Structure 1
Amino acid sequence: MSSSVMRRSGRVKLASVGLVVVGSLALSACNGDDDAGKPVGGATPTSSAPSAQPSSQPSSQPSDQPSAPAGGGGTGGGGAQAKGGQTFKIGEAAQFPFTYGTTTKGEISLTVDAIEKGSAADLAPLKLGDKVSGKVPYYIRYTVKNVGTTDLAYASVSHMKGHLGDGSEAQDLMVIGSFDKCPSDSLPKGFTNGKTQKGCAIALAPSAATKVASAEYWGDPFTMGQGLFWK
């Protein structure tokens, strides 16, 4: 991941990690006491559940929604658009109107390609220490395709998070800078109709005995707990 903007608010090229979480206290890790609060070399895992919706509430992830056909539909593809709360199989595409910032609007097709279990050792270079002790990273790998008529250059398709097997929310870990295990960049220049790009989001399972079983996209026009689900 290079020369990118933070997935949810803009990303600059820094060798640091951090969490952007709704309704939670974001802390800052460091390499030493003199670096406390600095963005270089640190990260902070934390729950992303908003206070109005506890992360332990399994009902936030509906299981009775029918799966959409692969390839999805939307205004750009002539089919039905994905609806909030809808569940897809891993590898199926969901199409919906996409907004980034105040001026970038279009239509994308989003596919969660895989939810891969990593190793606790993967997090060692991030120097998080006890903050991730016992936790296991899972990599939510997805593909973005522009199926609309506008250029989505430099937009970020973020707001992707993991859910545990019981439906509760996994912790998020957002990396600023380069992390080879889970690279994710802003959409490139000239991201016009038909262009695709891979992305990745990190979710933390609380222990080796627990797995991240599903993923949710909750960006506009959706909301957390009522987004699009893949499992």
Structure 2
Amino acid sequence: MKTIRTSRSSMAMAGLAVVGALTMSACNDDAASSDTAKTPPATQAPATSSAAPGTPAGSITAAAPSAGANGGATGAATGGSTGGAPAQSGPTAAPGTTLKIGAAATVPFSSGSTKGTVSLAVTSIDKGDPADLAPLKLGDKAAGMVPYYVRFKVTNAGGTDLSFASLTQVKGTLPDGSEASEVMLIGTFDKCPHPSFPKGFTNGQSVTSCVLALAPQATKVTGAEYWGEPYTLGKGVNWK
């Protein structure tokens, strides 16, 4: 009988040891769960979107109804007003120069590794109709906005062949000098052709182009600025 009592006592003690171990394990698990709950999950910083370097603030990119391989129609080069004689470049326009619409300025030109000199003239700023924007599917970005077509002429005034390059750094401006919203067109938009320079764009050759600017109905686009290298926005060549 004594032997039996001893075995039962040992079994009871072993049972208590097991219960104690389970209790300790449960407490440790609870503590671990509590610590996990108190530790905030790692957060990922939101992605920051930024415009491509050199892109003006307020620019909107739109796909025109018929996309061209070079981002626009490629027009034929036309001879300069000199009747084929070499175009003579004048002094380079200083940053901040302001000209009347129709007047030409000599400016440095660069497109990738291609560098040269061009004569640039903003020839007109034409007001359009808000309905013109429907094919561009701008949605809310065009709400309450009126399109303006800033038209300009580029003449190669240097000795570099500028074939297939493109001058797009012309931006509309509002009466207070601030930037108008710009629509960067991808494809062909008949109301505002923006061709690349055609093949054979050598000295004396000219091409006409256009940029699309938007202004709220309460104001209008009254001027333009060329801000291509080496100029910068706000310190370029202006037309009013």
* TM-score clears 0.5: yes
2:102 match: secondary structure: coil
Q: Cα–Cα, structure 1 residues 177 and 192, in superposed 2: closer, same or farther, change >3 Å?
A: same
Hey, what does 1:55 align to over in structure 2?
none
Q: Which runs of 4+ in 1 moved over 6 A?
A: 25-29
Which of 190, 203, 209 pairs up with 1:199? 209
Distance 1:116 1:88, change over 3 A: same
AA in 2 matched with 1:210: T
For residues 64 and 149 of structure 2, what CA distance do their matches in structure 1 show? 22
Q: Which amino acid aligns with 1:86?
A: T
Deviation at residue 40 of structure 1 after TM alignment: 8.0
* CA-CA distance at 1:212 after TM superposition: 0.4
Change (3 A) 1:149 1:120: same
Equivalent in the alignment of 2:70: none
- Residue 89 of structure 1 corresponds to which residue in structure 2? 100
1:211 to 2:211 alignment: no
| 2: CA distance, partners of 1:159 / 1:167 | 16
Which whole-Å CA distance do the structure 2 matches of 1:157 and 1:221 have between them?
14
Structure 1 residues without counterparts, runs of 5 or longer: 1-18, 30-38, 42-75
Percent identity of equivalent pairs: 54
Match of 2:5 in 1: none
Whole-angstrom distance in 2 between the partners of 1:24 and 1:89: 25
Aligned counterpart, 2:125: 115
- The normalised TM-score by structure 1 is 0.67
Map 1:20-39; keep pairs closer than 5 Å: 22=55, 24=57
Amino acid at match of 1:85: G
Residue 130 of structure 1 deviates from its aligned partner by 1.9
Structure 2 SS opposite 1:212: coil
Give TM-score, length-normalised by structure 2: 0.65
Equivalent in the alignment of 1:228 = 237
Task: Give the unaligned 5+ runs of structure 2.
Answer: 1-50, 66-86
**Structure 2 counterpart of 1:108, one-letter code:** V
Counterpart of 1:202 in structure 2: which amino acid? L
Deviations 1:89-119 (A, max 9, x none): 00000002211102x1111000000011011
- How much has 1:77 moved relative to structure 2? 2.3
With 77-86 and 170-179 compared, the bigger mean Cα shift is at: 77-86
User: In 1, distance between residues paired with 2:224 and 2:234?
Assistant: 11
Match of 1:64 in 2: none
Partner residue in 2 for 1:35:
none
Q: Distance in 2 between matches of 1:114 and 1:125?
A: 23
Number of residue-to-residue matches in the alignment: 169
Match of 1:100 among 75, 100, 111: 111
Q: Distance in 1 between matches of 2:58 and 2:174?
A: 21
Which structure would you say has the larger Rg?
2
Greater share of residues in helix: 2
Which secondary structure state, in structure 1, belongs to the residue aligned with residue 222 of structure 2? strand
Secondary structure, aligned partner of 1:97: strand
What amino acid is aligned across from residue 236 of structure 2 in structure 1?
G
